[in-house]
């Protein structure tokens, strides 16, 4: 499944622990030039920067499909169908979405440590834009149960918040990727709930 990390950095290269994709190394070198990381003794800032970017890459191992579902839960034709089918157990809704675009911004605070002490905290801002078209889906009892079509594109920019200005103005990495929605949305069982609380179907046994 495509993740935010994949879009920004590609795949992690197999090898010894700590070996990461070239793009992570490049982002670390850019981070070192920002001036947010102090020098400790003979250790240059780029050493800390590479370690920090490796940690950031791990934190961004978030599926694009999960981000998309969270957006659908806030406002979408799928959410409307979820409420309708939850209120009328046994019903199914086939939903077609011609175009759906949304932004998703996220902040990460990463501590930089040296000899078990925190020497700096760096704030990263991830700006994501997702656009999907020609979505064909089925909703049942408040759950997304099937996605049979749809294409999408995700664009991601990772910036670091400057310690001098406080603005997230320094780009460290960016990328975009197209994806097949039916491949990304692997649904099993009852599917994915789109409404927070789905009422029980009439006649369903109560939990014991």
| 102 domain-assigned | yes
Query: Higher-confidence residue: 33 or 15?
Result: 33
| 201 domain-assigned | no
- Residue showing tokens 């086939």: 94
| 199 domain-assigned | no
| 118 domain-assigned | yes
| 204 domain-assigned | no
Distance CA 73, CA 185 (A): 15
Q: Inform me whether the pLDDT recorded for 43 exceeds 90.
A: no
- Residue showing tokens 């694009």: 64
Mean pLDDT of 52-66: 93
| 206 domain-assigned | no
Number of domains in the chain: 1
Distance CA 95, CA 104 (A): 23
On average, the pLDDT of the chain sits at: 85
| 69 domain-assigned | yes
Which residues constitute the domain of residue 133? Answer: 4-193
| 207 domain-assigned | no
- Please report, for residues 54, 59, 89, 196, the alpha-carbon distance to residue 39 in angstroms, rounded to integers and kept in the order given: 19, 24, 62, 48
């Amino acid at each position: 499944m495509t993740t935010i990390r994949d879009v920004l950095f590609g795949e992690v290269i197999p090898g010894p622990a700590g070996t990461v994709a070239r793009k992570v190394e490049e982002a670390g070198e850019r981070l070192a030039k920002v001036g947010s990381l102090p020098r400790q003794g003979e250790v240059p800032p780029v050493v800390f920067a590479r370690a920090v970017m490796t940690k950031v890459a791990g934190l961004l191992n978030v599926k694009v499909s999960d981000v998309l579902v969270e957006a659908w839960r806030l406002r979408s034709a799928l959410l409307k169908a979820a409420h309708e089918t939850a209120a009328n157990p046994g019903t199914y809704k086939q939903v077609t979405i011609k175009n759906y675009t949304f932004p998703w911004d996220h902040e990460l605070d990463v501590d930089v440590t040296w000899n078990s002490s925190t020497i700096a905290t760096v704030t990263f801002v991830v700006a994501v834009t997702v656009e999907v078209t020609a979505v064909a889906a089925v909703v049942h009892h408040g759950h997304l149960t099937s996605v049979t079509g749809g294409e999408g594109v995700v664009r991601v920019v990772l910036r670091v918040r400057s310690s001098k200005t406080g603005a997230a103005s320094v780009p460290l990495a960016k990328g975009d990727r197209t994806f097949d929605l039916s491949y990304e949305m692997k649904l099993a069982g009852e599917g994915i709930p789109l409404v927070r609380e789905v009422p029980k179907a009439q006649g369903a046994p109560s939990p014991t």
